[in-house]
Structure 1
């Protein structure tokens, strides 16, 4: 217990410091989010990944908090996916490469002896989808981090119920690291999560659900998994539906996500994040209750109905799709900002 508190505190402070230190190198190297009107450095995700892995492996190395069977392999696979995301942040990898790499990593961590071959294949697909939809959730300041913290606590509670103490500690450390990152990512953000941090978050959380639900029936497992990531799934469903109806490329970025449309309704950027964070809290609590067995699967149906209603309501909110800014222009903007910063 005391180690968990100490580890979480250390993760929070280390991530807050490291994210601040990585901001200027990211700007100088041009590792920025070009969707923003001002360049947003993206190495905040690297800080979250590095600190989570460092603190978790320190507990394993000192034997104070052993990770347990399969958790170390899970952490290594999540770090590999994060490395793939970092390459995507720097060199813009094709989407199919990211999907293939995430699928390979997922296939290496699924406990097939408990899930079976068919269940393992479903688990791999679930991890890939959850990782990608969580990456898409990183479209507004503080949103992915806030939802990630809430989901991590929910997944950690499920792990604690299953007496997976090592996994519960890793998830608590991850939640603390995301909290330290949010100190710099809350609106107006000074550093971003990027594909490195968002893919790591989605992979770690979804794979943790697979570990805690391995051996259970598919129906209740699907209910728990959906409840834990319902906000991210609703965001992805809205984006896919809007772009299909508008006959626009699915992978092209645009201001048509949940937070964008809530802002069009008059909410402030922090207000939209708080509202979606509260929605995530409600759905995660429902998922934990289903996992513990205190309720049946009916709460998952209410969550699904709420997600569908949210998508249908926000679907009618008009948004403006701007013309994409050329990369050369964005790079020039980064250099200009650095010249102003350096005097």
Structure 2
């Protein structure tokens, strides 16, 4: 596989997604597959789903055409990610129970692990269930991250691009191709999802993106040291991991259900600090770029795994600590004000 093939495949994914997204959006409106306003949601009109289908098609079709069945582990990731995307589509159309979602995600992750992907936490049989658990958690973390116009599309574009660079450095060109195609497909979708969004990706796209990134990061760390593995898993998924930590801490402290939607994510806290929606998205993308660049530098040998891990922990503590100072559960008059500035759907 040469560089021209990679560029053509990823560019095709971008164009395919950009072109398919408005078509799928019109179909979603015709069929009534929309996210309707109400509750904690910010939009005041129905917004079509199915954007995630375009992201999935733009990623899988060019990658499958180029790669075929040449790489077993990458093929297992693509097949399992399509199953997870289908799960998300069903959930978009008719809400599934959390147990059903987690069970299907665990089976899909188990298939990837059986295909040879294992994060080396202990060097024993425990690595298999740990990898499955990690993939499921990160997949759902990216699902929760889809809470503001343009947020997940921008973060996925940046994170997948830097992880693709890491894959090429580690001599995993097949995985690098899939990731780069995912990055540009996310960019093609972002054109239509940039605030104010014309279409949402829904669970189809967010679960697909999270699953591909989680599995790819685990694949690139397979067979490496535990120290390298910690940084190698955390850095490509940094924003999603930290955002889930912020939400977990705030909801536990407030006594709110952990799986209930709300406006208590990092993005919503940044909005309450005065940032616009677009500036919030650019800020999150910049942080994702910084963590992704740190992971790439570690792969190149410019930064040691220990220093990369310390830097990641430091950034995480800042992102967890500062937003916690922003009040996100107002009452009384402040509730009406909070309603006016909210931007998320979860």
Which TM-score applies when normalising by structure 1?
Answer: 0.88
1:135 maps onto 2:143 in alignment? yes
Cα distance, 1:321 vs structure 2? 6.3
Q: Comparing 27-36 with 283-292, which one deviates more in the overlay?
A: 27-36
1:193-212 equivalence runs, <5 A: 193-212=201-220
Q: 1:3 & 1:112 partners in 2: Cα distance?
A: 25
Q: 1:90 & 1:254 partners in 2: Cα distance?
A: 21
Cα distance, 1:67 vs structure 2? 4.6
Q: Give the paired residue count.
A: 319
1:182 maps onto 2:190 in alignment? yes
State the partner residue of 1:217: 225
1:313 maps onto 2:325 in alignment? no
Q: Deviations over 1:207-263 (max 9, x none)?
A: 011111100112220112111111111111111111111111111111111111111
1:8-157 equivalence runs, <5 A: 8-34=10-36, 35=41, 36-61=43-68, 67-110=70-113, 111=116, 116-157=124-165
Q: Is the 8 A contact 1:286 1:300 kept in 2?
A: no
Q: Is the 8 A contact 1:220 1:291 kept in 2?
A: no
Cα distance, 1:320 vs structure 2? 4.9
Q: Is the 8 A contact 1:84 1:101 kept in 2?
A: yes
Q: 1:321 & 1:51 partners in 2: Cα distance?
A: 41
Cα distance, 1:281 vs structure 2? 0.6
Cα distance, 1:79 vs structure 2? 0.4
Residues 1:9 and 1:112: Cα distance change in structure 2 (over 3 Å): closer
Q: 1:60 & 1:226 partners in 2: Cα distance?
A: 27
State the partner residue of 1:283: 291
Q: 1:238 & 1:286 partners in 2: Cα distance?
A: 22
Q: Is the 8 A contact 2:13 2:185 kept in 1?
A: yes
Structure 2, unpaired ranges of 5+: 332-346
- Secondary structure (helix, strand or coil) at the match of 1:109 reads helix
- Secondary structure (helix, strand or coil) at the match of 1:191 reads coil
State the partner residue of 2:343: none
Q: 2:30 & 2:272 partners in 1: Cα distance?
A: 33
State the partner residue of 1:335: none
Structure 1, unpaired ranges of 5+: 323-343
1:190-339 equivalence runs, <5 A: 190-296=198-304, 297-320=306-329
State the partner residue of 1:6: 8
**CA RMSD for the aligned pairs?**
1.8
Q: Deviations over 1:294-317 (max 9, x none)?
A: 222222212212212222211111
Q: 1:80 & 1:144 partners in 2: Cα distance?
A: 20
Q: 1:74 & 1:233 partners in 2: Cα distance?
A: 20
Q: Is the 8 A contact 1:132 1:202 kept in 2?
A: yes
Q: Comparing 212-221 with 302-311, which one deviates more in the overlay?
A: 302-311
Q: 1:155 & 1:213 partners in 2: Cα distance?
A: 12
State the partner residue of 2:344: none
Which TM-score applies when normalising by structure 2?
Answer: 0.88
